[in-house]
Structure 1
């Protein structure tokens, strides 16, 4: 990666994940090349008109994935990039920021991560969930709540569930849906217990319902 100059990569595969989200796979010049992007950082890209798009794209692959990198992107009808990919010019790394805070992944820095994601917001969470495969002693726990509208909208489901299978003591995921199917067994067996002053309870009730936790799944002391 070069933080100041754009490098061009060829699109080799596009996989539709849902009605408006697709996975784009870009190849490197050699099968052993890596992107060199630290966990918790992102890239910026050029749009079809050659203008710098100031929007973070976080690959869902790590440097252990040789010869390629993947982006999972939500496609909007008037999107200036997602409908025009045949190659991609990117530069980076750039640090993900939230207000004045910067996120840099340090294995073992925390005992556990609590993650909340909705829709395509899962993309920056996946690399952090995988951690650094070169540091197997990292025992950081990950607890992820992933909210979507329907079951079909859940992105990277196989990848996420492989993490729960391979690291059952470290990775826990809880799916919540706004429109669950009749046979849904995701978060229906979860009960949220709330206790606090009225303003807090009111705010938390609304936020939890937005995440897919119905009033019946919440109890206020």
Structure 2
């Protein structure tokens, strides 16, 4: 053990303070307070050293979620994002977080299962990916777009602070591993950006990331682009590892970005060819877009590879549908 470590061992330091107090200080009552404070400081130092080494100073957060059953959470606040989307923040118990691994999502249902049922009489359940960080303490956030044909999205948009929603998770999607791929292309549409955003923010937060990400994000209008400020900030901060391309179906005359649907020409222009090793394409968007690009999903299963990506030669191992 080094001299420094020996000198600052709590037991050694305590003994030296006591020795000094005995030899140097007059034995009067007025000296009891400084001695008590000194010993208290040594004890505090000893606990600090112990806590720092053992992690006791900051105990790990517990998960507020349960992968096996729904847990009811109260809506804390609603913040409008644009004309048809809002951020919904739900309160979690103190000292807990979502602890969601990347990539994963949760499934939600109405707090009253009788309030929202499908045609077969079963409670409606839908998957959502939070936009808040997995270690965000005491709350979980969802950016949700209201679709006129979306039963759950319309229901959630009807909730007010104080109302509740049942949440279950995590639901594991793709086991992302750092630097497993040289290049990752993320193709998203509308609110399908959320799982792609989860992957991007997680990967780029690491100083050891070397994977290059290309995001092709299609929307109807410029006002429909979700998380644009966040994505632009990430692209500016990581110019060598993130490229973002926005495509609009109905752009305004002053729009200078790409237009139209994501088709074979767009993929050839921006996506690494299927012949390139260590590359993968993530797809998430409206069912019609996913089917056209990569083939229909089979419920929560991937389904067969199809669409434009299959025509261009991409294999099932090179494409993942969220």
Q: Do both proteins adopt the same fold according to a TM-score greater than 0.5, normalized to the shorter chain?
A: yes
Partner of 1:164, secondary structure, is helix
- The higher-RCO structure (CA 8 Å, 6+ apart) is 1
> Equivalent of 2:227, from 156, 166, 179?
156
In 2, the alpha carbon distance for the partners of 1:183 and 1:134 equals 34
1:35: which partner in 2? 98
Higher-Rg structure is 2
2:81: which partner in 1? 17
Shift of residue 36 of structure 1? 0.8
Asked if structure 2 preserves the Cα contact closer than 8 Å seen for 1:107 and 1:131, the reply is: no
5+ long unaligned stretches in structure 1: 97-102, 196-206, 212-221
Matched, 1:79 2:158: no
Residues 148-196 of structure 1: CA deviation (Å, up to 9, x unaligned): 01110001111111111221111110001011111112226xx85969x
Shift of residue 17 of structure 1? 2.0
> Which shifted more, 174-183 or 66-75?
66-75
Matched, 1:113 2:176: no
> Which shifted more, 117-126 or 177-186?
177-186
Shift of residue 48 of structure 1? 4.7
Shift of residue 42 of structure 1? 1.0
> Equivalent of 2:109, from 46, 53, 69?
46
Shift of residue 145 of structure 1? 0.5
Asked if structure 1 preserves the Cα contact closer than 8 Å seen for 2:87 and 2:144, the reply is: yes
In 2, the alpha carbon distance for the partners of 1:3 and 1:19 equals 33
Asked if structure 2 preserves the Cα contact closer than 8 Å seen for 1:145 and 1:176, the reply is: yes
Asked if structure 1 preserves the Cα contact closer than 8 Å seen for 2:98 and 2:135, the reply is: no
> Which shifted more, 19-28 or 117-126?
19-28
Count of aligned pairs between the two proteins: 189
Partner of 2:81, secondary structure, is strand
Residues 77-125 of structure 1: CA deviation (Å, up to 9, x unaligned): 47343234322221111123xxxxxx22111111121011111111111
5+ long unaligned stretches in structure 2: 1-64, 115-122, 260-264, 270-288, 294-322
Partner of 1:120, secondary structure, is helix
1:183: which partner in 2? 254
Q: Which has the higher strand share?
A: 1
In 1, the alpha carbon distance for the partners of 2:140 and 2:208 equals 25
In 2, the alpha carbon distance for the partners of 1:118 and 1:134 equals 24
1:93: which partner in 2? 170
Shift of residue 134 of structure 1? 6.8
TM value normalised by structure 1: 0.75
Partner of 2:105, secondary structure, is strand
Q: Which has the higher helix share?
A: 2
Partner of 1:82, secondary structure, is helix
Residues 18-42 of structure 1: CA deviation (Å, up to 9, x unaligned): 3222211122222x43201111111
Tell me: CA distance 1:193–1:73, structure 2 relative to 1, closer, same or farther (3 Å).
Answer: closer
